[in-house]
Structure formats: structure tokens, C-alpha cells
Amino acid sequence: MSVTEAAGTRPRNETAPGAEPIIVVDNVSKSFGPLQVLHGVSLTIERGTMVAIVGRSGSGKSTLLRCMNALEEINGGTIQVCGNRVAMDDRASVKRLRSEVGMVFQSYNLFPHLTVLRNITLALTVVQKKSRADADAIAHKVLGLVGLADKAEAYPEQLSGGQAQRVAIARSLALSPKVLLFDEVTSALDPELTGEVLKVMEDLARDGMTMVLVTHEMAFARRLADIVVFMHQGKVWEAGPPAEIFADPKTPELRQFLSSGL
Amino acid sequence: MITFSSTHLIYLIEAARWTVLLSVLAFIGGGAFGLVLALGRVSQHKWLRWLSAAYIQIIQGTPLLVVLFLAYFGLSILGLDIPPIIAAGLSLTLYTSAFLGEIWRGCILSVPKTQWEASNCIGLSRMQQYRHVILPQAARIAIPPTVGFMVQIIKNTSITSIIGFVELARAGQIVNNSTFEPFITFVFVAIIYFAMCYPLSLASRHFERKLNVGN
């Protein structure tokens, strides 16, 4: 498939998401002790777009994603999500952030002691104070969306990796977030299971969900992302539509990264 | 010559009621306070961590016997008239809480950090994370060491005989002193201890299996 064809496979692009920023990362730096992993990263993510962050291990892409969700404290710069400045020590801002941003992890992180249904309804009943019946209805709906309607009573241990990851996506979706963050969600899966997870993500993208993914799935990023961000040495090295990024890399680092066959 | 009879056996069983009562006091008091200590040890507040750690260090480094003497004789020197049951209950609570606090801290820490992150990301507060995500998982890990320690406590209640409790071990001594039949006397003492400890082990296995659902 050529790049131009690929770019056209996403119908919602035609309806133009418009320039409404939903995440604004401005000059963010982050260190772990003496090791600086983010060097003044700036990035704007617009509503209804899918942004794929790619790069080598250690390039800071996962850290950036975790900073966006206040899982890591930043040492400089600002991050705004839905107009709300993210600060880990500001409880109100974190609470608001949690209601707006969902996150899916590489290792699924389902709660092993709870059924699939309860994994999904926990926050609905405990945080959003919904009734058990309402929460169950939402859970069944999102399980249907990820194709796991029959797994409500299973425990995480009884699921395959792909199923577990789809439950994790459903758990985030149930809270109707405005943005979903995906941190290498297919890295622990074999190609077949990866396919079923990517399918769910593709459906979400087509429905207009704002998504930021850190990924090694280049073909997926090329086909579906609106913007591909290449990170290198803790900086945004190059960013742009996949057609440009993949067909015409401007820097030798990106060229080398793309040719490394990832 | 007096020989070991059913009267002696009934006397032993009656004395065992003290053992049970003291053990229950230790479990309830020590369990409740131990949970507070465990949460204090993993608290986000530095001084709470420090305070719990200091308490645990001091109690763990002090023989139960000394704690008991301090509670019973020490406090009475200060003019507080402490009934033996309060002194014994208090000492066993202090002792049990320090050990359970440290055991449970380890269990809480053994729940993967990613469980904290995932529950944080769906908006749970720290208390809600403990209640719904962390403690249920820690509890499963905690059952074997907790039961093991409870069995120790049941046997350790015998130390309260020094402040006048005629609990099972002390009653055994008394019966032996009058019958001069140490073998049969202490065999019965051992059987009664076993009858108290074994159900705990069974319950432990039952709960482990029950909580292992999905794992």
C-alpha cells in the first residue's frame, strides 16, 4: 500500500478535526536523578486526532506519555490537558485530569482479584458513584465494543494477552474519557493478538476518539495516525503527517530509524 | 496418691479458656493496630513512616516478657492500678501489632506498583486504592504468614502466667505438681494447644484457596 493511499483510508480526516488543542505540552523537561530524559519537549495534540509517538527505546516517548497523565512529575515547562494545567501536587487538577484522560499500559494492569466486569465497573461505582445496575450496563456496552461481551464473569488470569488488553481498553472507555493514552499496548503480544487489539484501536480512531500512542507498530501508525512524532534523545526530532514522515524524513536519525526495519 | 482424672482434664480445658481469651484480645487489638502501623509504614507522610518504624523497632527488640512486666508492674509503680487482664491484653496487643504491622507492610509492598498506577489512572483516591485494589491483593499474600504468627501468639500467651493467669500451660504445671504425672498431663496440654491451633491452619488453607480465585 502506498503512503498516499494509506493516508486516505481514514474517513474522519475528511471531516477535519479543526485546530482545537486538547493537549498542549510546552517546553517540558524531566530528569530521573542525574539522567535527563526529556529536553524541552513541545507538542500540541488536537481534538479528534491520533498522534503516534515513535522512536528508539530510551528516547523518552513513554516518559512523555506518563507526564501527560501525571504519573511522572515534570521538572520544567507546562502541560495542559483540556485547558487544565497538569500538576501532580495539585489534587484538584489531577482529579479533573483523571476524568478526562484514560490510559492503557503495556502490561494491561488489570486487577487480578476482580472479574472483568468488576474491573470495568470499579471506577464507575466508586469514583463516579453510579449505581451497580447503571455501571453494569455501561460495562456490558464497552465489552461489546471490544468484542468481549461473553467474558464479563471471567477473571483476568483466564484471558489471553489480547483479550486482557481489550478489557483494559474497555475499562478506560467506560469512563468516557476525552483522550486515550496508549503506552506500547501491543509490545507484549504476538502478531495475531496484536491484530485484534489494533482493530479495536482502529475502531476508536474512526469514531473520532483523541488518541496518543507510543508504539512500535509502524504500519499501524503510517496507516491511521494523523501526526507521527519521532522522538530522539529526549526531544521531538521530527513531527508531521505520516506521508511526510515516512516518505521524506528530514534528519539522518529518522532516516536511520526507519531503515532499521522496525 | 492423686492420679490424673477427668477432673484434671476439665481443669485444663477451663484454663484453656484464658488462652483463647488472651489470644482473641491479641488478634483483635494487634490486628487493628497492626493495620494502622502497616499503613503508617507505607504512608506518604515521612513522619508517619518514621513513627511506625520506630515503634516496630522498639517493640520487636523487646522481649514480650519485659513488655508484660512494664505494663503490669511498671504502670502500678506509677500509681495506675491495672487489672492483670488489661495488662496482659495491652502487652499482647503491643507485641502482636508490631509484628503484624511489619508482616503486612511487606505484603502491601509486594503488590506491583503498576496496580497503583492503573487504579490511579481510573481516578481512585488513595483510600479507595487501598480498599478496592491494594489491600485485597495484599490480604491474599498475607494469609500464610499471618496465620503462622497467630499460632505463635496462642502459644506465647503462656507467658502471662507470670502475672497470675492460670492459662493452659500454667494449669498443666499445677496439675503435674499434684499428680506427678508429667507425661500424661503435658500430652493433654499439647493436645489442647493443637486443638486450638489446627483449626487456624485449616481456615488459612481454606481462605487461601478461596482468595486464589482468578489467580
Closest chain A residue by Cα to residue B138: A113
Q: How many CA atoms lie within 13 A of B44 on its CB side?
A: 3
Answer yes or no: are the C-beta atoms of A46 and A19 closer than 8 Å: yes
pLDDT band at B75; cut points 50, 70, 90: confident
pLDDT at B213 over 70: no
Query: Chain A, 86-105: which have a CB under 8 Å from a chain B CB?
Result: 95, 98-99, 101-103, 105
| Chain A residues within 8 A of B121 when measuring between CB atoms | 69, 71, 98, 101-103, 172
Average pLDDT, chain B: 92
* Residues B15-40: tens digit of each pLDDT: 999 999 999 999 999 999 999 999 99
* Residues in B 103-132 with any Cβ partner in A closer than 8 A: 114-115, 117-124, 128, 132
Of the pLDDT bands very low, low, confident and very high (cuts 50, 70, 90), residue A261 is low
What count of other Cβ atoms lies within 10 Å of the Cβ of residue B29?
A: 17
CATH number assigned to the domain comprising residue A194? 3.40.50.300
pLDDT of residue B214: 41
φ and ψ at A66, to 5 degrees?
-70, -30
Question: Structural domain of residue B121, as residue ranges?
Answer: 22-168
**pLDDT for A6:** 39
Provide the domain limits for residue A26.
12-259
Inter-chain touch A123–B124, beta carbons under 8 Å:
yes
Asked if the structure places residue A6 within a domain, the reply is: no
Q: Nearest residue of A to residue B215 by CA position?
A: A157
**Is the four-CA dihedral B160, B164, B165, B171 of positive or negative sign?**
positive
Give Cβ neighbours of residue B163 (< 8 Å, ≥ 6 apart). B68, B72, B84, B87, B88
Size of interface A-B (CB pairs under 8 A): 68
B9 to chain A, closest Cα gap in Å: 46
**CB–CB contact B122 A71 (8 Å):** no
Task: Report residue B74's pLDDT band, with 50, 70 and 90 as the boundaries.
Answer: confident
Looking at the complex, does the CB of residue B215 fall below 8 Å from at least one CB of chain A?
A: yes
Task: Tell me the three state secondary structure of residue A105.
Answer: coil
Q: Which of A72, A88, A126, A167 to mutate to test the interface with B (most CBs of B within 10 A)?
A: A126
Q: What residues does A103 pair with on adjacent strands?
A: A181
Q: What is the pLDDT at residue A197?
A: 93
In this prediction, residue B1 carries a pLDDT of 67
- Lateral strand order in the sheet of A235-240: A101-104, A179-183, A210-214, A50-55, A227-232, A235-240
Whether B199 is covered by a domain: the verdict is no
Query: Given B120, B132, B137, which is nearest A112 (Cβ)?
Result: B137
Could you tell me if A111 lies within 8 Å of chain B, comparing CB atoms? yes
**CB atoms inside a 10 Å sphere around CB A103:** 26
Question: Is the per-residue pLDDT at B95 higher than 90?
Answer: yes
Which of A105, A157, A175 lies nearest to residue B118, judging by beta carbons?
A105
The confidence score (pLDDT) of residue B61 equals 95
State the pLDDT confidence band at B138, using cuts at 50, 70 and 90: very high
B127, part of any domain? yes
Q: Would you say residue A127 lies in a domain?
A: yes
Give the C-alpha separation, B204 to B145, whole Å: 10
Q: Please give the pLDDT value at position B100.
A: 97
CA distances to A174, B150, B175, B188 from B168, rounded to whole Å, are 58, 17, 10, 10
Point out which residues pair with A54 in neighbouring strands. A230
Average pLDDT over residues A122-143: 96
Q: Is residue B79 part of a domain?
A: yes
- Across the range A215-233, mean pLDDT stands at 93
Query: Torsion over CA of B183, B186, B187 and B188, rounded to 10 degrees?
Result: 130
3-class DSSP string for chain B: CCCCCHHHHHHHHHHHHHHHHHHHHHHHHHHHHHHHHHHHHCCCCHHHHHHHHHHHHHHHCCCHHHHHHHHHHHHHHCCCCCCHHHHHHHHHHHHHHHHHHHHHHHHHHCCCHHHHHHHHHCCCCHHHHHHHHHHHHHHHHHHHHHHHHHHHHHHHHHHHHHHCCCCHHHHHHHHHHHHCCHHHHHHHHHHHHHHHHHHHHHHHHHHHHHHCCCC
Name chain A contacts of B132, Cβ cutoff 8 Å. 111, 122, 126
Q: Is residue B8 included in any domain, yes or no?
A: no
Find the closest chain A residue to B214 by CA distance. Answer: A155
CA distance B42 to chain A (A): 19
pTM over 0.90: no
C-alpha grid cell, residue B9: 482434664
Nearest CA in chain A to B134: A111
Which secondary-structure segment (H or E) carries A257?
A: helix A252-259
Q: Which residues pair with A38 in a beta bridge?
A: A30
Residue A18: count of CB within 10 angstroms of its CB = 9
Interval A36-62: pLDDT, tens? 999 999 999 999 999 999 999 999 999
Q: In this complex, do A109 and B136 lie within 8 Å of one another by their Cβ atoms?
A: no
Q: What CATH number did the domain enclosing B98 receive?
A: 1.10.3720.10
Distance from CA of A18 to the nearest CA of B (A): 28
- Fill in the DSSP letter of residue A75: S
Domain count of chain A?
1
ipTM of the complex: 0.88
Phi-psi region of B6 (alpha: psi -120 to 50; beta: other; left: phi over 0): alpha
Can you tell me the distance from the alpha carbon of B48 to that of B214, in angstroms, rounded to the nearest whole number? 35
Of the partner residues A99, A107, A122, the one whose CB lies closest to the CB of residue B132: A122
Which single residue is written with the C-alpha cell 484454663? B15
| The predicted structure's pLDDT at residue A7 | 40
pLDDT single digits (tens) B98-124:
999 999 999 999 999 999 999 999 999
Taking a C-beta distance cutoff of 8 angstroms, is the pair A55, A46 a contact? no
Residue A214 binned pLDDT confidence (cut-offs 50, 70, 90): very high
Q: What is the pLDDT of residues A65-103, one digit of tens each?
A: 999 999 999 999 999 999 889 888 888 899 999 999 999
**Interface residue of A63, A101, A111 to substitute, partner B, most B CBs within 10 Å:** A111
Rounded CA-CA distance A118/A140 in Å is 11
DSSP SS3 for A108: coil
Q: What is the mean pLDDT of residues B143-171?
A: 91
To the nearest 10°, report the CA torsion of B72, B73, B79, B80.
0
| Beta carbons of B214 and A115 less than 8 Å apart | yes
Residue A115 forms contact with B (CB below 8 Å): yes
Q: Name the one residue in this structure whose C-alpha cell is 476525552.
A: A178
In a domain, A5, yes or no: no
Residue B100: which residues within 8 A CB-CB, separation 6 or more?
B30, B31, B34, B35, B37, B38, B146, B149
Average of per-residue pLDDT across B141-165 = 91
If one counts the domains in chain B, the total is 1
- Using the Cβ of A21 and the Cβ atoms of chain B, whether some distance falls under 8 Å is answered with no
- Phi, then psi, of A111 in degrees rounded to 5: -85, 110
Q: Is A176 in the B-facing interface, judged by CB distances under 8 Å?
A: no
- Whether residue B214 is contained in a domain is answered as no
